[in-house]
Amino acid sequence: MVRSNKSSRTIFVCQQCGKESLKWLGRCPHCQVWNSLVEKTVVAVVSPKSSVLTPPPQELSQVVIGAADRLSLPMAEFNRVLGGGLVAGSMVLIGGDPGIGKSTLLLQVSALVTQMGGTVVYVSGEETLRQIKLRAERLGVKGEGLYLLSETDLDAILDQIERLKPGLVVIDSIQAVCLPELETTTGSITQVRECTLRLMHWAKLNTVPALLAGHVTKDGAIAGPKVLEHIVDVVLYLEGEQFSAYRLLRCVKNRFGSTNEVGIFEMKSGGLVEVANPSEVFLSRRGSQAVGSVVVPTLEGSRPLLVEIQALTSPTSFGQPRRTANCVDFNRLLMITAVLSRRVGLRLGNQDIIVNVTGGLRVEEPAADLGIALAIASSFRDMEVDAGLVAVGEVGLSGELRAVPQLERRANEAARLGFQRCLVPRGGARFPAPEGMELVPAATVREAIGVGLVRHGAGSIPNKD
Ligand code: TYD
Ligand code: MG
The Cα–Cα gap between 395 and 339 comes to 8
Query: 326 C-alpha vs ligand 1 centroid, how far in Å?
Result: 24
Q: Model-level pTM?
A: 0.78
Query: 133 C-alpha vs ligand 2 centroid, how far in Å?
Result: 13
Give pLDDT, residue 3: 43
Residue nearest to atom 8 of ligand 1 (CA): 99
Regarding the beta carbon of 139 and ligand 1, being less than 6 Å apart is answered: yes
Regarding the beta carbon of 101 and ligand 1, being less than 6 Å apart is answered: yes
Regarding the beta carbon of 135 and ligand 1, being less than 6 Å apart is answered: yes
Give pLDDT, residue 229: 83
Cβ(8)–Cβ(44) under 8 Å?
yes
Question: What single letter denotes the amino acid at residue 394?
Answer: E
Q: Which of 39, 97, 42, 94 is nearest to 222 (CA)?
A: 97
Query: 96 C-alpha vs ligand 2 centroid, how far in Å?
Result: 10
Give pLDDT, residue 287: 61
Query: 445 C-alpha vs ligand 1 centroid, how far in Å?
Result: 43
Give pLDDT, residue 2: 40
Regarding the beta carbon of 271 and ligand 1, being less than 6 Å apart is answered: yes
The ligand minimizing its distance to the Cα of 141 is 1
Give pLDDT, residue 5: 41
What H or E segment, with its residue span, contains residue 353? strand 351-357
Residue nearest to atom 16 of ligand 1 (CA): 101
Q: Which of 284, 454, 459, 294 is nearest to 390 (CA)?
A: 294
Give pLDDT, residue 160: 93
Return the C-alpha torsion angle 340, 341, 345, 350, nearest 10: 120
> Which strands make up the sheet holding 8-14, listed edge to edge?
20-21, 8-14, 37-43
Question: Which of 93, 127, 212, 267 best tests ligand 1's pocket when mutated (most atoms within 8 Å of CB)?
Answer: 267
> Which strands make up the sheet holding 271-274, listed edge to edge?
146-150, 120-124, 168-172, 210-215, 91-96, 234-239, 246-254, 262-268, 271-274
Give the pLDDT means over successive 10-residue stretches in the chain (465 positions).
Answer: 57 80 89 84 62 74 74 90 90 89 94 93 92 93 91 93 93 89 77 90 92 74 63 90 85 86 90 87 68 91 88 91 94 96 94 90 92 96 90 95 92 90 89 91 94 63 43
Q: Which atom of ligand 1 is nearest to the CA of 106?
A: 2
The Cα–Cα gap between 215 and 347 comes to 46
State the maximum Cα–Cα separation within the chain, in Å, rounded to a whole number.
87
Regarding the beta carbon of 125 and ligand 1, being less than 6 Å apart is answered: no
Regarding the beta carbon of 99 and ligand 1, being less than 6 Å apart is answered: yes
Question: What single letter denotes the amino acid at residue 28?
Answer: C
Q: Which atom of ligand 1 is nearest to the CA of 213?
A: 6
Regarding the beta carbon of 270 and ligand 1, being less than 6 Å apart is answered: yes
Phi then psi dihedrals of residue 449, to 5 deg: -65, -40
The Cα–Cα gap between 106 and 457 comes to 55
Give pLDDT, residue 217: 63
Query: 103 C-alpha vs ligand 1 centroid, how far in Å?
Result: 7
The Cα–Cα gap between 190 and 12 comes to 11
Give pLDDT, residue 276: 82
